[in-house]
A and B are shown apart, each in its own frame.
Chain A
Amino acid sequence: MIFNNIGYYSLVFGLFISIYLLFFSFFLYIKGKSNNDLNLNIYHFSLIQLFLVILSFICLILCFILSDFSNETVYYNSHTTKPIFYKIAGAWGNHEGSLLLWLLVLTLFIFLFIIKSKSQPKKYRLLSIFFQQIIITGFFLFLLITSNPFDYLFPTPKEGLGLNPILQDPALVIHPPILYLGYVGSSIIFSSSLAALIENNLGTIWAKHIKNWVFVSWIFLTLGILLGSIWAYYELGWGGFWFWDPVENVSLMPWFSLTALLHTILVLEKRQLLKLWTIVLSISTFSLSMSGTFLVRSGILNSVHTFASDPERGVFILIFLFLLIFLAIFIFFFFSKNIEQVKGRNFYWLSKDFSILINNWFMMYFLSVVLIGTVYPIFLEVITSDKISIGPPFYNKLLIPFLIPFLIIMSFGPKLKWIKDRFEMLKLYKILFFFISLIISIFIYEKLGKNNLLISILILAGIYLFLISLIDFFKSKNNLSQNISHFGFSLLILSIILNSFFSSEFSSNMKIGDQIEFENKIIKFSKIESKKGSNYNSIVANFTIEDKNKRVTNFFPEIRIYNQPNIMTSEADIKTSIFYDKFFVVNLLKNETYFNVRYQVKSFMVWIWISTLLIALGGFIGLVKKIR
């Protein structure tokens, strides 16, 4: 009750401060005395704003911990029997709470931006604050008008309706916050690049300063995608790591754009080229992040993120998103004339700059494929009311052929010098590596007996990049962060290919006592037991798998029936080892004597997670080095 009110009024005051800062920063910008520090009020009010949002977030968490069902959000998403850990996580596992978290990160980041940008020109900082406060005001309004987390309910219900049990998973507790850090980081890049464009401030110094923010968003976005993927694998029991599900795609699209930006910003820093392109990438990264939020939250995409969808909310985000896009387009076209291009600077074909440019072309290509695959079904449904769904074959066909040259360029591009490099004779070890990769890929090609030449060439390119980046990793110490990330990427590609080739699946309907042979192993369904958890009942099936050497492995997949709300979930039993995962999941069939049994051996699953972690780690090392 009391926390409910505190939380609500902190938000209202936060909105007032936001509007004040919006006008105040613009007023100071127009008045425009340069070369002195920011007005102290801006520091103070940003800090108060941050404090208010934190306070309101803490209040929401307290409402959840105390199971205060007079709060509507708590009523719909919590239950007294829920473990305390998930009560807390319930605070941001729903639509209202997750938007409050967005807002929290927004206000935190703008405050950090203000204290971290002291070396930058004053007018540029004011303008960045102005743009950022537009976004913050928008989110405050969105929260208070359409999705207030502190709506009051009377009479107070005795019990809540529970949190969606598929959202009760440790990976999911941190998945949204991490992803939001990435998304919101891109809003800072958006605001400051528009400010830099207007102020004609695009140069080495600005690039150095904004690079930190690009790194921060990129690291969190990478980790956020990884966590989402881990969640789908372990909790949803989908039996894989990536499904080209629209909701997965909307987090991947800003990643492509941000990765392109991460590379382009280096060219801007070193050579003062690609100025406008940097702005375009900044705008598109943020717009894609916002579109992701729009598509998931509005319910246009039906998916595992089962938040209540409400067309009114969708309309609000949609209008807000397009206002920002139009604002960005207008600013871009009116002020891009001012940017003078440095004369006489071109790209030489054999240089680091040019290879980064090629990287950008590829990223844009990957981005457009995913964008079309995601948006096309929506557009088609509106125009012709046909329902189609675009699946993995579309992406495989369009992405794989382009991945091959991408990997090859990635294996030598990073080692070229800036501006102009000389063509060197191939070193012995490179030729050696090429032949090693060739032999391995021919071996794989023969062994699989698949007449798919394209995949074999992809394996060749993947192994070559792997070997080259492995050598770089040990040889050159001066660019550790890039080496780790690129090495991680080659490992990721290889793991994905091997995973898709060496995985096998068994699926059948079995009843208790059944035995079925599968690839020289005997799968036996011995019995079922029932078990009681804190807020669910479960049926545990006991399976044994005996291989030809009489070694027996036990599996205990579970079916959980949650009390509140009544949802059945399948908990896979996964045995992880270095080279493969054994994945066992059962589903209840309608007549109840038979169970649907799925047993999968997935090669190199762990390496997919490890390699993605390496990619993010590379970014992290780069960031630490820069801040030092």
Chain B
Amino acid sequence: MKKNFTFILLLVFFSLSFIILYLSLNKVETYVPKKITNKNIIKFSAQDLFSNQEVDFNNLVVKDKLTIINIWASWCQPCRNEHPFLMKLADNKKINLIGLSYKDNNKNSKKFLDEYGNPFSKVLVDKDGLISINIGAYGVPETYIINADKKILKKYIGPIKKENYFEIIGHANEIN
């Protein structure tokens, strides 16, 4: 009798533990190392991929548009996955999409854009990756949403997914 009781108690206990651990699995939050949102983006200038002229990033931020920096590279596999979303974002008139080509060969970058299409209004070259580090990037691809005051509203680590796409569109619609 006593034994059966212990048996049932153990079963109940472990079943409950199972349910709780199962629930906690769905609560997993991705770990963002440093909080950089709501801060001003750093000042930087870089070469344009096509014209080879030095461009100051400050001049690229437009008043009535949402500026997006997308750090990418032709050798980066996940960048190919997010590319269709970038193409769609480029169609939105309230979005100014700027590419930052990370540690890439210029020839390969151009080839990549020829092949998949060019969503960017401007592509800047970050040859040694220092600009990306200074912006606060951890890898490619990464995407930064910047408002007219040059504040970082949001940072996406890894490729843009469907839900991120709609979030960005939402941000764009807030601009009058």
Residues of A within 8 A of B (CB): 75, 153, 157-159, 161, 294, 298-300, 302, 306, 309, 311, 314-315, 318, 322, 325-326, 329, 333, 336, 378-379, 381-383, 561, 563, 565-567
Contacts and interface: CB of A to CB of B under 8 A. Distances in A.
A299 B21 CA distance: 12
A230 B77 CA distance: 36
Given A300-B21, A326-B14, A567-B138, A333 B3 contact: yes
Nearest to B28: A299
B7 A159 contact: no
Contact of B14 (A157, A311, A325, A383): A325
Contact of B75 (A157, A294, A561): A157
A225 to B, nearest CB: 23
A378 B24 contact: yes
Given A159-B75, A381-B24, A565 B7 contact: no
19 contacts: A157-B75, A157-B76, A157-B77, A300-B21, A302-B29, A311-B25, A314-B25, A315-B25, A318-B21, A322-B14, A325-B14, A329-B14, A333-B3, A378-B21, A382-B24, A565-B138, A565-B139, A566-B137, A566-B138
B33 to A, nearest CB: 9
A314 B29 CA distance: 14
Interface in B20-59: 20-29, 31
A336 B14 CA distance: 20
A322 B23 CA distance: 15
Given A161-B139, A299-B28, A315 B22 contact: yes
Contacts of B60: none
Given A157-B77, A561-B133, A566-B139, A300 B25 contact: yes
A299 B27 CA distance: 10
Contacts of B17: 322
Interface residues of B, number: 27
Interface string B139-171: 100000000000000000000000000000000
Nearest to A311: B25
A176 to B, nearest CB: 20
Give 3 closest A-B pairs by Cβ, nearest first. Answer: A565-B139, A158-B75, A314-B25
Nearest to A161: B139
Given A300-B28, A311-B28, 16 more contacts: A157-B75, A157-B76, A161-B139, A294-B21, A299-B28, A300-B24, A302-B29, A315-B25, A318-B21, A318-B22, A322-B14, A325-B14, A329-B11, A329-B14, A381-B27, A566-B132
A493 B25 CA distance: 37
Nearest to A322: B18
A153 B75 CA distance: 12
A306 B21 contact: no
B119 to A, nearest CB: 20
A279 to B, nearest CB: 14
Chain B, interface SS category: helix
Given A302-B31, A329-B11, A567-B138, A383 B20 contact: yes
A565 B29 CA distance: 21
Contacts of B24: 300, 378-379, 381-382
B10 interface: yes
Nearest to B132: A566
Interface of B: 3, 7, 10-11, 14, 17-18, 20-29, 31, 75-77, 129, 132-133, 137-139
Contacts of B7: 329, 333
Contacts of B75: 157-159
A566 B133 contact: yes
B130 to A, nearest CB: 9
Contacts of A381: 24, 27
B31 A382 contact: no
B139 A318 contact: no
A430 B57 CA distance: 78
Contact of A75 (B14, B23, B77): B77
Nearest to A326: B14
A264 B165 CA distance: 59
Given A315-B22, A318-B22, A326-B14, A306 B31 contact: yes
Contacts of A311: 25-26, 28
Q: In this complex, which of B22, B25, B28 has the most chain A Cβ atoms within 10 angstroms of its Cβ?
A: B25
A318 B138 contact: no
Given A329-B14, A333-B3, A379-B20, A309 B77 contact: no
B137 to A, nearest CB: 6
B28 A318 contact: no
Contacts of A563: 129
Nearest to B31: A302
B25 A298 contact: yes
A297 to B, nearest CB: 11
A382 B18 contact: no
Contacts of A383: 20
B10 A329 contact: yes
B80 to A, nearest CB: 9
Contacts of A315: 22, 25
A71 to B, nearest CB: 12
A618 B137 CA distance: 49
A379 B20 CA distance: 6
B72 to A, nearest CB: 13
Contacts of A326: 11, 14
Nearest to A75: B77
A318 B28 CA distance: 14
Contacts of A333: 3, 7
A153 B77 contact: yes
A72 B78 CA distance: 11
A383 B158 CA distance: 31
A95 to B, nearest CB: 14
Nearest to B137: A566
Nearest to A76: B77
A300 B153 CA distance: 27
A552 to B, nearest CB: 35
Contacts of A325: 14
B77 to A, nearest CB: 5
A68 to B, nearest CB: 14
B97 to A, nearest CB: 22
Contacts of B25: 298, 300, 311, 314-315, 318
A96 B167 CA distance: 32
Contacts of A378: 20-21, 24
